[in-house]
Structure 1
Amino acid sequence: MARFSILTAVFALLTTVHGQCGSGTPDSRVTGSGSSFTATTGSRTVYSGSDYRAAIQSALDSISSGQRVSVIASGSIGANSITISSGKIFEGCGTINVGNKSGRGAIESLNTSGVQIPYLTMTGNPYFGLRFYGTRDLVLGKITMNLSGGLGIRFDRDAAANSNVKMDVINVTGAGSHAVETWNIDGLTINQVIARNVGESGLLLQKTTNARVGLVDGNNVAAGTGYATFRMANNNGQNSNGNYNTNVYIDKVVSRGGGRGIFCVSQSGGVVITSIDLANNGNNAILIENCYNVSIQGGTVNGGGEVRLAARSEFPNNRDISITLRVDNNSVRESPCGDNTNWTLTGNAAKNIC
């Protein structure tokens, strides 16, 4: 767990630098309640009125790169979007309630560099809570989303790639889709993703390389679906030269109930998962399907759906899979046989492996 400790230390340092939400002297503040909000930048009032979203956007638009907005007030932005441009620091100290704007994020930062969101508390049913693409040096801190639907954090698929993205602790409850979904990131560091009662994945990585994640923790995630607490898909971990040398490191995956615990699919891999703790998953506890260079180094699976290595005919078969686990009250099956599969199994599970 040494890597997890390093990640925790890194994000603790970021918290120390920023202090508590709204602390010190923010360059701009949004205050008020009900139907009366004020945005103040320095000694200047840049918005006064009933529109919470307009107050926040006015505050953001009034500051320069390197400056900070602290939204102290709670309110609702409706089915609208807040946009953060390069270099700005956005703190949501109050609770921001959001609506559903088709294809858009309630808060967005697109084709930007150096954006930071150290704190955010969001409620509502967004299309995407946070939406990104084309970002560089993006930092997300302590993000809490208590949702009634929608998707938590999304990096777009068919848009510019991202680099050097950092997230501290992401807590998502009640999303109808994924808690965190990435596409096209080179250089991703996450301390923790904690997903509760989420419809699809807790953490879904796609076409993401050079990733380091401390903890993925899901409870009642992906029930009745093919998703998982932790899922890798669509060539995740495939390096730019086409190989699958290890570049994705996950310290721990914890999953209870819901659907699958861990799912690797569609030519993904290049991953080491140091430890897992899976119990009573409603679908496969683990499914590895057409993946390459996947190592699970230890941990436990208790009950739930089987641990399975499988393959679809349209992709090359599994290759270089290494699994060390204790599996109880379950079964382990490898069909078809992969290329260079290595099992080290303990526990009472039934085994049908090559």
Structure 2
Amino acid sequence: MPESGVERQLPTDEARDLLRLVRDIAQREIAPRAAEEEEAGRFPRDTFALLSSSGLLGLPYDSEFGGGDQPYEVYLQVLEELAAARLTVGLGVSVHSLACHALANFGTKEQRSEHLPDMLAGGLLGAYCLSEPASGSDAASLRTKAVREGGDWVLDGTKAWITHGGVADFYTVLARSGGEGARGITAYLVPGDAEGLSAAAPEKKMGMKGSPTAQIHFDGVRIPDARRIGDEGQGFQIALAALDSGRLGIAACAIGVAQAALDAAIEYAKGRSQFGRPIADFQGLRFMLADMATQIEAGRALYLSAARLRDAGLPFSKQAAMAKLLCTDAAMKVTTDAVQVFGGYGYTADFPVERYMREAKVLQIVEGTNQIQRMVIARHLAGPETR
């Protein structure tokens, strides 16, 4: 868990009270069970129910529909705290928020009134269905089809790498309703119990074993047009808008994991003695800790800066890609260094740093690999690639 000395940049007393609540839940309900449940591959559905009843699953959304009216600057710091306690939980909240984004920002007033209260504060948990077996970063080439039949849509195809696949109550699905390319994609809100929807066995992953990641199959899934989000053909625009915000969520989660690793490394270095004194006295290790802390502070400052742009209604796509890139690379480096601080003990499951290192790796991949983030940043700097 992040140490109490971590300075938080919170704009209001309400936000400070909120973070105290989150820290209490994280320290009391999440962190003590994290290692055991991850090793056993147990999904913490009860934890998400608790977060929902505590008003923590809809923080950045409108209170009119059950949200928390919190700026992204605050919401992301909540994610960091949750991810430091258990990445499965922090990342799960980020994915749920991503799944709510399309309806909250592009849905009609009637759609939002009907669905958002349960999605934000009614105990439901969401998943986001964009990637497919043959289209990850190249989302515009997706093949899942949506065919109009009267007042309904019929969905057929397979989505891949879906966090909460098989346990989600609803899926925000991007499917091809028209021609080729980005303009032929539409967004839909699909119930988790829809007839014809099924989940494959969860992927066997090196980390985050408690968070199910699975393919989702759509076999003639029929949904009414009232569950179409936005205009026909607007889905790719909706997806890109959600990903910018989702990348900030991943950045905050990465800093949470890195902070947890640093805290563990500091505690261990102070208590472990070699050659008659704590290893924290040795300059080589002290410099390593200093570098780890600096990377964390830099990453936190960058994701908060991007969040403030978003909160002000200013463009933040470039800064979101930068934050995702810097924070997740930092998390990988910091967690690897934390294992090194522990020496041989760091390579065992008796201490948490090996789990942090395994978990950090996926953060360099999800929401667009870090190579994709570099492409996004470069396009902002130098324009699109010439062909």
The two structures have a TM-score, normalised by structure 1, of 0.25
Q: Which has the higher helix share?
A: 2
Q: Which has the higher strand share?
A: 1
Specify which structure has the bigger relative contact order, considering alpha-carbon pairs within 8 angstroms and separated by 6 or more residues.
2
